[in-house]
Amino acid sequence: MKYAFSTLGVPGRSVAETAGLAAVHGFDGVELRAHPEEPLHPGTRSADRAAAVRAFDAAGVAVLSVASYAKVAAEGEDEPVVAELLSLIVLAAELGAPYVRVFPGAGNLPPADADSRAVHRLSAAAPFAERHGVRVLLETHDSHRTAAATGRVLDRVGHPAVGAVWDVLHTWLGGETPAESRRALAGHLGYVQVKDVASGQDLTPLALGAGVLPLAEVVAAAPPDGWLCWEYEKRWYPAAAELDTLLGGGREYLAGLVRGAGDGPEGSG
């Protein structure tokens, strides 16, 4: 198993600072939040992209994903959404990231209409992504928070360059067990986003293992050769503890769950 964390947890940090944090605390990679307030996004200059690659290479840290805010099931014309996807794919390819994360974002659209929009846009971007060695991953989030809903879209797309990010908070809030979520994403899963919260009503981020999410079951269901990415939403909860102080313990906690899952039912119980 490989371990990453999202830059959502360390707002305001430079690329070099983020890469250094990952290296110091034993993380293999970083999920980069691709927003204009961050150092890296589709509008970033080529020179800055190249400098970021050098910084991550020097730290021995991979760029796992470009975590975008593209909404593939949203109302509106297809062309701007597809154009955004293409620009994100180019950014990921230049950074050496294998994945681009996108949201559904259908709002109040009827599910059938939302699914069709997402299928059409993802299918349009898929060949371009494949040529660039990048996979576009639809996150279990908002209008398609369950793996069943996300998997329904991906089954229709049916392209190897399109898959899923399993955000375990949203599938849990949607009422799925980890085993159900994993089955629904069979053949589609890119990587798993882990996190912890106090309850379904209080989503303030906590240290891994300090909340209510079934993380041991999630890790047991995750591919043993895949990625676990800690999405600590400090950006949205400024009063939450600083991620810097939690990274080392979080990495060890995940490694312990992975060891337990490897031991089988007795070891993971």
Model pLDDT for residues 139-198, shown as the tens digit of each residue: 999 999 999 999 999 999 999 999 999 999 999 999 999 999 999 999 999 999 999 999
> In the structure encoding, which two tokens stand for residue 33, read together?
């939040």
Whole-number pLDDT of residue 225: 95
pLDDT digits (tens, 9 = 90+) for 24-82: 999 999 999 999 999 999 999 999 999 999 999 999 999 999 999 999 999 999 999 99
State how many domains the chain has: 1
pLDDT digits (tens, 9 = 90+) for 19-29: 999 999 999 99
Largest Cα span, the chain: 52
CB neighbours of residue 186 within 10 Å:
10
Whole-number pLDDT of residue 262: 79
Give yes or no for a contact between 178 and 220, defined as CB atoms under 8 angstroms apart. yes
In CATH, what number is assigned to the domain containing residue 24? 3.20.20.150
CB neighbours of residue 77 within 10 Å:
7
E strand intervals along 35-156: 62-71, 99-103, 135-139
Length of the chain in terms of residues written: 269
- Between CA 215 and CA 220 the distance in angstroms is 8
Q: Is pLDDT above 70 for 263?
A: no
3-state helix vs strand vs coil in the chain, percent to 5: 45, 20, 40
Please state the rounded mean pLDDT for residues 91-111: 98
Distances (CA, A) of 40 to 35, 73, 94, 113: 7, 24, 11, 33
- Between CA 267 and CA 174 the distance in angstroms is 28
Owner of token pair 């399993």: 166
CB neighbours of 30 closer than 8 A, spacing ≥ 6? 4, 5, 6, 7, 18, 19, 22, 56, 61, 62, 63, 64
Whole-number pLDDT of residue 266: 36
pLDDT digits (tens, 9 = 90+) for 223-237: 999 999 999 999 999
Owner of token pair 């709002």: 107
CB neighbours of residue 205 within 10 Å:
26
Task: Give the residues across from 191 on adjacent strands.
Answer: 165
Instruction: Domain of residue 141: give its range.
Output: 2-268
Place 221 in a pLDDT band, splitting at 50, 70 and 90: very high
For 100, list phi and psi in degrees, rounded to 5.
-120, 125
E strand intervals along the chain: 2-6, 29-33, 62-71, 99-103, 135-139, 162-167, 189-194, 227-230
